[in-house]
Structure 1
Amino acid sequence: MNTLEQLRAGALSGARRLTLRADLRELPEEVYTLADSLEELDLSGNALDDLPADLPRLHRLRVIFCSNNRFARLPEVLGRCKSLEMVGFKANHISDVPAAALPPRLRWLILTDNRIEALPDELGRRARLQKVALAGNRLTALPATMAGCERLELLRISANQFEGLPDWLLTLPRLTWLAHGGNPFSAAQEAEALDNAPMPRVNWADLQVQALLGEGASGHIHRAARADGTAVALKVFKGEVTSDGLPGTELAACLQAGAHPHLIPATGRLSGHPGGADGLLMPLIPPRFRTLAGPPSLASCTRDVYDPALQMAPGAALRLATGMADALAHLHARALTHGDFYAHNMLHDGDGEGRLGDFGAASFLASVPPQQAARLKALDVRALGCLLEELGPRCAQHADAVQVLADACLAAAVDTRPAAHDVAQRLRRLALPCG
């Protein structure tokens, strides 16, 4: 984070990134001293309700974040910033998105947790659009022009007012990661999962909550001990709209998912939390497990970022891919899509054992007609294709065969992609000699 004092003293000359948190009510004039270098501007957490008309003076600006401010309207001046690719205005009060506010080079749009009821047709005319986060608004429809967004890969429309999904959406050739839970058309299925899942209740008073293990968009995960001394992981949901949707949808999906050796299972449901929060108990994952990859970066947009130093034992990548495909097939058989089937939501031990987690973007297949359900599963399969493409080069003598499978999963024609179960079977046959 930077300071106004640094900016005014000229200490940030030549900076490509600028982050200011200073209860700002307007953009400091001194920001323009960085016009020839500034590419990423983060003004989140201030008190802004507009941006200046001369913002395009920042002619190299590619990324702007203005989350947690006071905007009621997406500023039209953004549309005149010719280099701007990423626009993030999460958690404002936005109800109006003018067509003129959409930059010509827009790739990544974040409008989560606002008050938007409609989007302009112009959004569908942004040919470079790859990633759109719209969870937690009041949308009832998407612009029909978005049927032409052939590069769109990730879309979050959870926690809105949709009564169904448009058929054209599920035929987009590159759409891969879709979250649509928490809408009226899926409410009945989510409520049924919450009410009927055979999950034992564990009272907050019977737990000793210990160290914080991690924090995700939807909740905090603590180490905890049950009354008999058994160590567990406890996830307490925040109860807020996240980039994926509602924590209640995630909880319902966790309960619906059931048990599988390559899923991070829920073993109990929390009750009696002093703040009324929901929560889940899970087994502690052994420390040998680590996250397979980091989440997408600003540069990669939709693809995970792997550590170049990642090491795996011989045959491990193929065994890991097989397990993840099998876990995905299990979810589909349980009438769920994962919606966020990414390496950054997978744990592995380096020897081929893996666990898939994070159901924040999961959705219920019974909430849509059968043909749409089949295509929703095909979106998850495309995500599996991305994983195979990433792990394939580590599969030694099977690399070519894995790439053939990846290509089938990545097919532009949605209805031609194989089922996750079939992919898992074919990977398992390849993996047998490596066992």
Structure 2
Amino acid sequence: MPLNTLEDLRAGKLAGSRRLKLASGLSEFPREIFGLAETLEILDLSGNALATLPDDLPRLYKLRILFCSDNRFTELPAVLGQCAALDMVGFKANRIRLVPAAALPARLRWLILTDNELVELPREIGRCTRLQKLMLAGNQLRALPAEMANCTGLELLRIAANELAALPDWLLTLPKLSWLAFAGNPFCQDVPVQNGVSPIHWDDLHVSHQLGEGASGVIHHAEWRSAGGAQPVALKLFKGAMTSDGLPLNEMNACMTAGAHPNLIPVLGKLAAHPEAAHGLVMALIDSNFRNLAGPPSLDSCTRDVYPAESSFDLDDAIRLALGIASAAEHLHAQGITHGDLYGHNILHGTDGQALLGDFGAASFVPSDDPLVAKALQRIEVRAFSCLLEELLELCGQSADSTVNRKKAQKLKCLQADCAQENVSARPLFAEIVTQLSALMPR
């Protein structure tokens, strides 16, 4: 979304705009915005110095999406609840300690309150039955309201880096919950991290160009010079800041603990002696032929990935890809890890259905003393896998036109439906999914 200027707004150059983004140190809400009331749907005022919103904000009667991250709010403005069309609200990285019940819009489906100072949520959040995405990482929540059990449409929940003493029982039975991050809470702080990853000294790395950047860190191309010679590697340097998923160091610990698997990116070592004490991992450099399977969800798709228009798969390749990811997920859960973000946009794929599951930013350690909770958490991730299967089936299109392929496609659809059951306890575990997919592989 391009950055606009207050000067252009005042000069009438933005008349008729559906989107507006202003970031210029604003300490007061510009009244000129109301001149766009007939058309404005998306308003982004992130990166300013705002602490309040005007009482007549509902004059923006078409406003669907409001972002006010990185400002100075200490409570979620109650006026939001009066905005009839508002369904997406983002107030990340403020100083919010209070969420009044009146601040929750009736149509709310996406609420971002990451990196604030919340100790509790209002019980009235249980009335938000359209809520699909709730991001609460980096607060001081000690519990979640029991009334949230009524949020039966909730699909993505981030509650990492809070003060939760346990996962509530009702959370594990939500019929559509698929993407859950909870690392960095007291109930999962004492999980031992695997120490089998060797240190790699900063001086043994020749760091060159940047390969990519995500919320948790920056990935560089590097050359690792060791006694065995020099080899190209990928170096991920972690940021210290809170991300929407949680703390980057939790991601690093999960990567190291995951261990080796053909469908995970190999971790070669843990960075040591960085001159600025930065944390990092040295990983295998992935062939440049690998591509992201999908793009992340958009404002419109909310919780579902966005695939390139030209995307298509041969059915057998789709089955091979699904099998690889299911096998990786089975492996992670055997190590006591839930990935938390099993999505197409976190999968790299190559030719013939080769696949690598990456991005452990939402990974969490499963409580080791409760096998029932461990299975419930796995079945939550199974629903995420059902979404991936559904998307792969849609991408197969006309490739399932032979009798053999039609039968395979039908079995894949049945498996997808089983994985998506609203009765969480009825879903298969990943071991069974791997068995079923293996049976569909070409001989």
Q: Tell me the TM-score normalised to structure 2 length.
A: 0.95
Pair 1:117-2:119 in alignment: yes
* Alignment root-mean-square deviation, CA: 1.1
Contact 1:392 1:400 in 2 (8 A): no
Q: 1:180 to 1:22 in 2, by over 3 A?
A: same
Identity of aligned pairs, percent? 56
**Partner Cα separation in structure 1 for residue 188 and residue 90 of structure 2:** 27
The answer to whether the aligner puts 1:353 opposite 2:369 as a matched pair is: no
Q: 2:200 aligns with which of 199, 202, 215?
A: 202
Q: What are the superposed Cα offsets for residues 142-168 of structure 1, whole Å, 9 maximum, x if unpaired?
A: 011001111000000000001111001
Could you tell me whether the CA contact under 8 Å between 1:225 and 1:231 is conserved in 2? yes
How far apart, CA to CA, are the structure 2 residues paired with 1:41 and 1:224?
A: 40
Q: 1:367 to 1:156 in 2, by over 3 A?
A: farther
- Cα distance in 1, alignment partners of residues 315 and 187 from structure 2: 46
Alignment-derived partner of residue 438 in structure 2: 428
Residue type of the partner of 1:254? Answer: C
Residue matched to 1:300: 301
- Looking at structure 2, the residues matched to 170 and 275 of structure 1 have their Cα atoms a distance apart, in angstroms, of 41
The secondary structure found in structure 2 opposite 1:188 is coil
Residue by residue, what CA displacement relative to the aligned partner does 1:334-378 show, whole Å, maximum 9, x if unpaired?
111111000000000142000000111111113562211110000
Q: Which amino acid aligns with 2:54?
A: P
- Alpha-carbon distance, 1:30 to partner: 1.0
Higher mean C-alpha deviation, range 270-279 or range 138-147: 270-279
Gap change, CA 1:277 and 1:368, over 3 Å in 2: farther
Which secondary structure does the structure 1 equivalent of 2:352 belong to? coil
Q: Which residue of 1 aligns with 2:261?
A: 260
Instruction: State how far apart, in whole Å, the 2-side matches of 1:351 and 1:51 are.
Output: 53
For the 8 Å contact 1:311–1:350, the answer to whether it is kept is no
* Equivalent-residue separation in structure 1 for 2:203 and 2:54 (angstroms): 53
Shift of 1:314: 5.7
How far residue 229 of structure 1 moved from its aligned partner, in angstroms, is 2.6
Contact 1:113–1:135 (8 Å) recurs in 2? yes
Deviates further, 197-206 or 81-90: 197-206
Aligned residue type for 1:224? A
Conserved in 2, the CA contact under 8 Å of 1:117 and 1:137? yes
Q: CA offsets, 1:296-337, max 9 Å, x none?
A: 111111010111111445621111111111111111111111
| Residue of structure 2 in register with 1:406 after alignment | 416
Separation of aligned partners in 1, 2:176 and 2:369: 21
**Partner amino acid, structure 1, of 2:410:** D
The alpha-carbon deviation at position 8 of structure 1 amounts to 1.2
Contact 2:294 2:345 in 1 (8 A): yes
Is contact 2:129–2:153 with CA below 8 Å preserved after alignment? yes
What CA distance in whole angstroms lies between the structure 2 residues aligned with 1:351 and 1:248? 34
Gaps of 5+ in 2: none
Letter in 2 for 1:255: M
The count of residues paired between Structure 1 and Structure 2 equals 429
Q: Are residues 1:158 and 2:156 paired? A: no
Partner of 2:172 in structure 1?
Answer: 170
Q: Deviations over 1:250-282 (max 9, x none)?
A: 111111110100111211000111221211011
The question of whether the paired residues in 1 share the 8 Å contact of 2:266 and 2:284 is answered with: yes
1:371-419 Cα distance to aligned partner (Å, 9 max, x none): 1111000011111111111112316222221111000000000011001
**Cα drift, residue 197 of structure 1:** 2.0
Runs of 4+ in 1 over 3 A off after TM superposition: 311-314
Q: 8 Å contact 2:336–2:368 — kept in the other structure?
A: no
Letter in 2 for 1:249: N
